[in-house]
Amino acid sequence: MRGPWTAEEDKKLISFILTHGRCCWRAVPKLAGLLRCGKSCRLRWTNYLRPDLKRGLLSTAEEQLVIDLHAKLGNRYTSLHGRLPGRTDNEIKNHWNTHIKKKLIKMGIDPATHQPLANSKMSTSQSTDTTKSAKSSDTRDELSVKEGSRRDMALPTDPLEQSSWLESGNNAGRQDQEHLVNWLSETDLPMDEPWLNFTSSDNDVLGIVEGPLPWDGATDWLLDYQDFGMCSSNLVDNNSTLHSTDGSNF
DNA sequence: AAATGCTGCAACCGCATGCTT
DNA sequence: AAAGCATGCGGTTGCAGCATT
């Protein structure tokens, strides 16, 4: 099976991973009853369903960090995303290709080398950019002004809201996400699973998560609830049995 | 109102890498 | 040592939604 994931498939995958943790991806689709390959399941989980993800646009600070790190590391998006907690390599890659690249070119900086572009080289670079963004007109590069009107750019001004997973609902998958949140609120999830009781690492405290995710850190799980919008919804009230990793109730 | 163009992102693909036997 | 398998990574594509004509 190919194409976009349905809410039903998402449910199955989330339910399976919450129950069993991340294990052999190849076995996941079969065990979870999904008509997908393991690779697809891994990507879906890593890039979209993983609850510790931030949603929405990269902040200016994050964007600058990406640029700085890209100058040092090149197109090693996985290395970049390791330094941007809650961001996926795919997300950073997309943002690089669709936003930052254009900005740098417009500023006269070669995105590949981070060196100033000679005029002749600028035109060459732009003409050889095979991404679809190369087709765009200059006026569309006025990102801060024009894209602010787009549906996915209307970020809330409140930082707390921005960081909430649900607020990312100005993305295309909002309905699916809300559906999932509703489903999670109604579903008896295995909250007493042993992997929930892992202690957090320093990296977790810093919000920098490296290595296998997300079930190897209790902080991740705490973040999960925030990101699922549980703190801002009545989910916690409806799930009084939810407990933190030190055993206290939320 | 309809057609067309453009954008951003989710998902896919092929290759690379690491591990096990 | 090498073959097979599982997973990760970076590049690319397809498409929904919005803007423009």
* Per-residue pLDDT tens over the stretch A107-144: 778 787 787 776 544 444 333 333 333 333 333 333 33
Is the shortest CB-to-strand distance from A171 to strand B under 7 Å?
yes
Q: A134-148: string of b/e by CB count within 10 Å (b at 16+)?
A: eeeeeeeeebeeeee
Global pTM reads: 0.62
The pLDDT > 70 percentage for chain A reads 46
* Nearest Cα to Cα of residue A187 among A223, A249, A238: A238
* Nearest Cα to Cα of residue A72 among A88, A83, A59: A83
**Residue A149 CA to B5 C1' — how many Å?**
18
Determine the average pLDDT of the residues in A47-60: 78
Q: Which nucleotide C1' is nearest A152 CA?
A: B8
Q: How far apart are CA A72 and CA A83, in angstroms?
A: 13
H or E stretch covering A14: helix A7-20
Give the up-direction half-sphere exposure of residue A167: CA atoms within 13 A in the CB hemisphere.
20
Determine the average pLDDT of the residues in A31-57: 83
Is the shortest CB-to-strand distance from A165 to strand B under 7 Å?
no
Domains and CATH numbers, chain A: 1-49 (1.10.10.60), 60-153 (no CATH), 159-250 (no CATH)
Q: What is the mean pLDDT of chain A?
A: 59
Higher-scoring residue by pLDDT: A183, A62:
A62
Residues near A126 by Cβ (< 8 Å), separated by ≥ 6?
A: A105, A134
Q: Each residue of A181-213: pLDDT tens digit?
A: 566 556 655 544 434 333 333 333 333 333 333
- Chain B positions with an atom below 7 A of a protein C-beta are 6-14
CB A73 within 8 A of CB A244: no
